[in-house]
Structure 1
Amino acid sequence: MINIIYRLKSPKFFEEAIEEVELDGVIVRPTYLSICQADQRYYQGSRPSDILTEKLPMALIHEAVGEVISDNENVFSPGDKVVMIPNTPLGDDGYRANYSKLSKFRGSGFDGFTCDLVSLNHDRLVSLPDDFDLKVSAFIELMTVAYQGIMKFKEFKTPFSNVLGVWGDGNLGYITALFLKQMCPESKVIVFGKHVENLNLFSFADDIYLIHDVPKDLKIDHAFECVGSAASQSAIEQIIDLINPQGTINLFGVSEYPIPVNTRMVLEKGLTLQGNSRSEREDFEGVVSILHNNPQLFSYLSKLITNVCEIRSIDDLKTSFDKDYISDFGKTILKWEI
Structure 2
Amino acid sequence: MENTIYRLIKPGEFVEQRVEIGDGTDAVIVKPRFLSICHADQRYYQGLRAPEILAKKLPMALIHEGIGEVLYDPQNEFKPGMLVAMVPNTPVEEDEVIAENYLRSSKFRASGFDGFMQDKIDMERTRLVLLPEGIDTNVAAFTELVAVSYHTINRFDRIAHARRNTIGIWGDGNLGYITSLLLKTRYPEYKVYVFGIDEKKMLDFDFVDGTYHCSNIPKDLSIDHAFECVGMAASGTAINQIIDYICPEGTIAIMGVSEEPVPINTRMVLEKGLRIFGSSRCGIADFKALLHLYSERPELVKKMKKIIGEIVTINSIEDMKDAFEKDAAMPGGKTVMIWEK
Q: Same fold (TM over 0.5)?
A: yes
Matched, 1:220 2:217: no
* Residue matched to 1:252: 255
Alignment partner of 1:323 out of 326, 333, 339 = 326
Matched, 1:183 2:201: no
| 1:93 CA drift (Å) | 4.7
Q: 2 CA distance for matches of 1:171 and 1:226?
A: 9
Task: Write out aligned runs for 1:180-219 (5 A).
Answer: 180-219=183-222
Larger mean Cα displacement after TM superposition, 180-189 or 277-286 = 180-189
* Residue matched to 1:90: 92
Q: What residue identity is the alignment partner of 1:121? A: E
* Residue matched to 1:77: 79
* Residue matched to 1:68: 70
Task: Write out aligned runs for 1:1-80 (5 A).
Answer: 1-23=1-23, 24=25, 25-80=27-82
Counterpart contact for 1:93–1:102, Cα < 8 Å? no
Task: Write out aligned runs for 1:131-146 (5 A).
Answer: 131-146=134-149
Counterpart contact for 1:28–1:68, Cα < 8 Å? yes
State the percentage of identical aligned residues.
51
Counterpart contact for 1:166–1:224, Cα < 8 Å? yes
Q: 1 CA distance for matches of 2:210 and 2:114?
A: 41
| 1:261 CA drift (Å) | 1.1
Task: Write out aligned runs for 1:234-249 (5 A).
Answer: 234-249=237-252
Q: 1 CA distance for matches of 2:57 and 2:92?
A: 18
Q: 2 CA distance for matches of 1:155 and 1:186?
A: 18
* Residue matched to 2:152: 149
| 1:185 CA drift (Å) | 2.1
Q: What residue identity is the alignment partner of 2:20? A: E
Structure 1, gaps ≥5 residues long: none
* Residue matched to 2:235: 232
Matched, 1:108 2:115: no
* Residue matched to 1:284: 287
- List per-residue Cα deviations over 1:171-202 (Å, max 9, x = no partner): 00000000000122221110000000100010
Matched, 1:129 2:132: yes
Q: How many residues align?
A: 338
| 1:22 CA drift (Å) | 2.8
SS in 2 for 1:296: helix
SS in 1 for 2:3: strand
Q: What residue identity is the alignment partner of 1:11? A: P
- List per-residue Cα deviations over 1:263-282 (Å, max 9, x = no partner): 11111111000100000001
Q: What residue identity is the alignment partner of 1:156? A: I
Supply the RMSD in Å over aligned alpha carbons.
Answer: 0.8
Q: 1 CA distance for matches of 2:222 and 2:286?
A: 30
Structure 2, gaps ≥5 residues long: none
Q: 1 CA distance for matches of 2:58 and 2:95?
A: 28
| 1:91 CA drift (Å) | 2.1
- List per-residue Cα deviations over 1:202-244 (Å, max 9, x = no partner): 0111111111111111000000000000101110111000000
- List per-residue Cα deviations over 1:67-103 (Å, max 9, x = no partner): 0001111111111110000001122355211011110
Q: 2 CA distance for matches of 1:292 and 1:189?
A: 24
SS in 1 for 2:240: helix
Q: 2 CA distance for matches of 1:156 and 1:10?
A: 41
* Residue matched to 2:176: 173
Give the alignment's TM-score, normalised by structure 2. Answer: 0.98
Q: 1 CA distance for matches of 2:95 and 2:283?
A: 15
Q: 2 CA distance for matches of 1:225 and 1:124?
A: 28
Larger mean Cα displacement after TM superposition, 93-102 or 147-156 = 93-102
- List per-residue Cα deviations over 1:41-78 (Å, max 9, x = no partner): 00000100000000100000000001000111111111
